[in-house]
Amino acid sequence: MRKLSLENINKLFAAVAEDKTLYLPVDQSDGSAKYSKWAEGTVWSNALNTVRSPKDLFFPQTEDLMEFKTEGKNIEVIDIRKESEDFVIFGVRACDVKSFEVLDRVFLSEPVDSYYASRREHAVIVSLACSRPSETCFCTTFGIDAINPEGDVSAWKTATDIYFKANTEKGEEFLASIEALTEESDDTAVNEQKAKTADIMKKLPLADLTTDSFGGGKTEELWNNPVWDEFSQTCLGCGTCTFVCPTCQCYDIKDFDTGNGVIRYRCWDSCMYSEFTRMAHGNNRLTQKERFRQRFMHKLVYYPENNGGLFSCVGCGRCLSKCPISMNIAKVMRKIGGDK
């Protein structure tokens, strides 16, 4: 384990940025935080989590895929992909690290999404253990350990220092690159912080939330549950929950006529929208109830059924804090699980 005084954190950022592009949480003018490219003078945010997850760095909200040039009846397809840059994402929480596993199973399964795969290959993930979890956090429901985050490198921040431990070959290379700035350390301070955070986690409002009523094979049992009628009536269908979610991966592909050709691009979509996956005959989910049910059944039943029990929710709490009418996955799970 390596240790760095927080007084020297900007020296570390500068050293990392010499070889790789560095992204880290940065406070915004509205009080929120988002992942931004580090530059001299950038201040690392103390926020528990960013409004949107680091998913953006692997699966951007909008992304050009290819171009077409036409001349008469001839069409030229232009591959506009470029070699991805080497980059480091610093300060990723355990829930967001777990979200990469969910996305990997979608984009790295055959046929592999080469756009996503290239970014994953070139990225180094430096995670950060939680010390001040929020009341909206429920990552433990899905077996995620917020005090022992995964990633290429795990980090723990105390009042005076930050500690690093490599988990992968990429992580070892990262620690080697900052060795001159850090020193060898034992894990005494880290273990003390872990114990304090573990006590906090046990007292969170959603600490007792479980997945006992969900998982593969539950489709028939849950399909006609009255919760879908009750809760969907208040849902606005705004899609906010899907856009802040670190595991949602739905997208649409569109063509834009530039006047000198066509750019084909993809952009995030939401299963909560009435025109989502619209087919020639219309939409296969005509009601708000059907769309509402699809979102939560996918997270809690369909995805784990097809992915060895892995749920497509990581308990980050973003949808709890951002839904304008406070309708979220935790409420659905409590209601179906029999809680009031």
Task: Name the token pair of 326.
Answer: 């406070």
**pLDDT > 60? residue 34:** yes
Q: 29-33, 162-166, 192-196, 246-250: which has the minimum mean pLDDT?
A: 29-33
pLDDT value for 166: 97
pLDDT value for 274: 80
Looking only at Cα atoms, what is the longest distance across the chain?
72
- pLDDT interval class at 153 (50, 70, 90): very high
**pLDDT > 90? residue 276:** no
Averaged pLDDT, 167-178: 96
pLDDT in tens, 79-128: 988 878 999 999 999 999 999 999 999 999 999 999 999 999 999 999 99
**Percentage, residues of the chain above pLDDT 90:** 84
**Residue in the block written with tokens 């592909």:** 253
- pLDDT interval class at 338 (50, 70, 90): confident
pLDDT value for 280: 63
pLDDT value for 244: 95
pLDDT in tens, 70-83: 888 888 999 988 87
**pLDDT > 90? residue 271:** no
Average pLDDT, the chain: 93
**pLDDT > 60? residue 197:** yes
Averaged pLDDT, 184-197: 95
Averaged pLDDT, 257-269: 91
**pLDDT > 70? residue 282:** no
- pLDDT interval class at 260 (50, 70, 90): confident
pLDDT value for 336: 93
d(CA 22, CA 58) in angstroms, rounded, equals: 14
**pLDDT > 60? residue 340:** no
pTM for the full predicted model: 0.92
pLDDT in tens, 286-311: 788 999 999 999 999 999 999 999 99
Domain residue ranges of the chain, discontinuous segments joined by +: 2-63+72-202, 219-336
**Percentage, residues of the chain above pLDDT 70:** 98
**pLDDT > 70? residue 278:** no
